[in-house]
Structure 1
Amino acid sequence: MKIRVIGNSEAVQGFALVGIQGEITATADEANAAIDHALAMENIGIVLITEDAAVLIQARIDQLKFQSEIPLVVVIPAPNPVSSKQESLNEIIERAIGIKF
């Protein structure tokens, strides 16, 4: 199983440095298309989506979190956080998969 990242250019390019592919999105249409593309890929086990991209399609993200087992959809903090409460990426992944790093 592979990981795919969706979101702003900083996050996608950062994850690309460690070999994780993704799609840069700036609009709701782009985010929806990126989610559709990730869901169509059979080898994707986790989809990381930046908070700024997730707020554009929040209803769909919520639906995927509750209805989809694979891939696991995880919202990660953006470089410029949208919310005032910000968890670390490790905390989010630990909570999502239930394994402490």
Structure 2
Amino acid sequence: MTELRTLVIGNENCVLGLGQMGVPGRVAHTTQDVDAALDAALADATIGIVLISADVASLARARVDRLKVNSISPLVVEVPGPDGWLMRTMRDFVQSAVGISLGRTP
């Protein structure tokens, strides 16, 4: 069985930092960059995990959210960007998906 690899898609610092730990990556500045990097990762059977920084994920939010929920291989995992977490809360994600308000918790 082939050993699966991890790939990072992110800003320059994210790719550089994880690259120092041996994780290859692709820098993305635009939605087209994100789409191209995701397309390449999804087509590569040796990629088992795709890490994507929150700031870059926001460039293709709908696609990244779909992949995080539906993709089995590679597993798509969003990691904090330079400003921390930019993604919506799980409550916001569910409310958006089902179209109803879940109310507020104390």
- The normalised TM-score by structure 2 is 0.74
Matched with 1:19 is 22
User: Any idea what SS the aligned residue of 2:52 has?
Assistant: strand
Once the two structures are TM-superposed, the CA of residue 68 in structure 1 deviates from its matched residue by: 1.3
Q: Is the 8 A contact 2:51 2:77 kept in 1?
A: yes
| Runs of 5+ consecutive residues of structure 2 not aligned to the other structure | 89-106
User: Any idea what SS the aligned residue of 1:45 has?
Assistant: strand
Matched with 2:100 is none
Matching of residue 64 in structure 1 with residue 63 in structure 2: no
Once the two structures are TM-superposed, the CA of residue 84 in structure 1 deviates from its matched residue by: 8.8
| Alignment of structure 1 residues 1-101 onto 2, 5 Å | 1-81=4-84, 83=86
Judged with a 3 Å threshold, the aligned counterparts in structure 2 of structure 1 residues 81 and 69 are, in CA distance, closer, same or farther, namely: same
Q: How many residues align?
A: 85
Once the two structures are TM-superposed, the CA of residue 57 in structure 1 deviates from its matched residue by: 0.5
Identity %: 42
- The normalised TM-score by structure 1 is 0.78
Once the two structures are TM-superposed, the CA of residue 79 in structure 1 deviates from its matched residue by: 1.6
Once the two structures are TM-superposed, the CA of residue 80 in structure 1 deviates from its matched residue by: 2.1
Once the two structures are TM-superposed, the CA of residue 62 in structure 1 deviates from its matched residue by: 1.4
Instruction: Determine the C-alpha separation between the residues in 1 that align with 2:87 and 2:70.
Output: 27
